[in-house]
Structure 1
Amino acid sequence: MHIRVINPNTTAAMTEKIELSARAVVGPGTRLDAVNPAMGPASIESHYEEALSVPGILTEVAAGERAGVDGYVIACFGDPGLDAARELAVGPVVGIAEAAMHAAALLGRGFSVVTTLDRTRGRARELAARYVAGPACRGVYGCAIPVLELDHDPDVLDRVVAVGRAALERDDSDVLVLGCAGMADLCTRVSARLGVPVVDGVAAATVFVQSLVTLGLRTSPRTEYAAPPPKHHTGILAGFTRPDLAAWSAEPD
């Protein structure tokens, strides 16, 4: 089995951190690689940056299909390009917000999300409305730390713990979700400090992809996630004109 974890931003140091989290949960015999696109934003903290990250994500999925990758993780909490990636990939594609929220909903009556900046809270709430029953996600909170500062701010653990503790008390939640792939390395320490399950979406998504592949399950190509119809693209997207897209949804050999 070959799983590819895609960091949608171009920061290699974050890709390395994401890879460590994913490798910690893969089973024996599973090959895992973590990649980031050559083009796109250095971090993703706005709708604009999410949109600009999608061509790079799709480029990595296309390369993975040619290399025989069995499944993909989209390692950004906004789950950018998730639906588009499912149209291209033969195997399953799972976003880390999607995986984290589903996992959290299995661990308690309700969960709270602690993310980076307040401006990303709206996107997290939108995804929660899509992925889980309404009462499951009880709140989304920012801790005022930009993504690229997570590795440099000496107070990051204390700040995430403080926001997490306040969120659990305010929402009466049983579980905490860390709302950024760059927080993956904090999961165990935050859980120890707060005494509740804390879900890292990178690890959860990796396990979900591995399980789906093991079960022989893939995204259905019947309707919405069928390969997009081949058509011509112009300008900087000219390289995305692929007459063989339809073949990517065929059954694997």
Structure 2
Amino acid sequence: MKISIVNPNTSVAMTGEIGAAATRSASPDTELLVRRSLHGPEAIEGPFDGALCVPGLLKAIRQAEEDGAMAHVIACFDDTGLDAARALSRRPVVGVGEAALHMASLVAQEFCVVTTLSRSVPTLRMNILRCGFERRCPQVLASDIPVLELHRPESGAWEKLSTLIVRALENGAEAAVLGCAGMADFSAELQARLGVPVIDGVDAAVRMAEMLARSGLSPSKRGGWAYPSRANLLG
């Protein structure tokens, strides 16, 4: 079974990191088609960046489907272009943000999200509201570390994320969701050190995409996810 992992930004390095994280989560019989947008910014840090990435993301999803992908993962916690991708695709499309929120809801009554920049917080709050988790996820905390600096030792990312999660736990959270696909490598150590579930969206989305592909379920083509009449405009 082929599953496509699409990084909506153009960063080659981040795409490699996401692909490695997805490989750790995928079943042995799953072949991953790891792609990235070829147009747009190298990081998605707010709604402007996200909007610029959508055409490239949709082209990558269309190509992956032509190459035999049975499901797709959008590897940005903002769930960039998720509705448009579900309209375009005839296969399941899973956003890492939505997947992580649903996974967290199965292991904790209340949970938090820790993310990168403050400008991303309003988008994440809207996504939490859309998914119906606003009461169970009242805390969205920003580390103010740019996406592309997460893995630079001088950023202190691990320590800052740990501090934010501890603060959220003190205010009622029982688990934490990592609010950026680039944080995937931090989840296991944070969970071990803090003693609470720490959910990585890439892991959650890969597992959900496999499940949906095996179930034979795909986006309904009635209503908002009907196949777009102007799909040819993608070129």
> TM-score scaled to structure 2, two decimals?
0.96
Q: Which residue is equivalent to 2:106? A: 106
Gaps of 5+ in 1: 234-239, 242-253
Counterpart residue identity of residue 220, structure 1: S
Q: Which residue is equivalent to 2:162? A: 161
Distance 2:119 2:46 in 1: 7
Q: Which runs of 4+ in 1 moved over 2 A?
A: 230-233
Distance 2:21 2:131 in 1: 23
TM-fit CA distance, 1:88: 1.2
1:119 lines up with 2:119 in the alignment: yes
Counterpart residue identity of residue 43, structure 1: A
Distance 2:147 2:135 in 1: 28
CA shift digits 1:179-228 (9 cap, x unpaired): 00010000001111211000000110010000011111111112221111
Q: Which residue is equivalent to 2:74? A: 74
CA shift digits 1:63-94 (9 cap, x unpaired): 11211211100001111110000111111001
1:27 lines up with 2:36 in the alignment: no
Query: Quick one: structure 1 residues 214 and 203, their matched pair in 2 at CA, closer, same or farther if it must change by over 3 Å?
Result: same
Distance 1:50 1:134 in 2: 22
Counterpart residue identity of residue 37, structure 1: S
Q: Which residue is equivalent to 1:84? A: 84
Distance 2:206 2:27 in 1: 10
Q: Which residue is equivalent to 2:143? A: 143
Query: Quick one: structure 1 residues 167 and 67, their matched pair in 2 at CA, closer, same or farther if it must change by over 3 Å?
Result: same
Distance 2:231 2:185 in 1: 42
TM-fit CA distance, 1:39: 1.1
Larger Rg over CA atoms: 1
Q: Which residue is equivalent to 1:237? A: none
Deviates more, 1:81-90 or 1:145-154: 145-154
TM-fit CA distance, 1:232: 6.8
Q: Which residue is equivalent to 1:8? A: 8
Deviates more, 1:120-129 or 1:29-38: 29-38
Query: Quick one: structure 1 residues 37 and 133, their matched pair in 2 at CA, closer, same or farther if it must change by over 3 Å?
Result: closer
CA contact (8 A) 1:102 1:132 kept: no
Q: Which residue is equivalent to 1:95? A: 95
CA contact (8 A) 2:33 2:69 kept: no
Q: Which residue is equivalent to 1:250? A: none
TM-fit CA distance, 1:231: 7.1
TM-fit CA distance, 1:30: 1.0
CA contact (8 A) 1:105 1:132 kept: no
> TM-score scaled to structure 1, two decimals?
0.89
Q: How many residues align?
A: 234
CA contact (8 A) 1:101 1:132 kept: no
Distance 1:79 1:230 in 2: 22
Structure 2 counterpart SS, 1:42: coil
Gaps of 5+ in 2: none
Identical-pair percentage: 41
Q: Which residue is equivalent to 2:17? A: 17
Distance 2:28 2:164 in 1: 36
CA contact (8 A) 2:11 2:42 kept: yes
Distance 1:132 1:176 in 2: 17
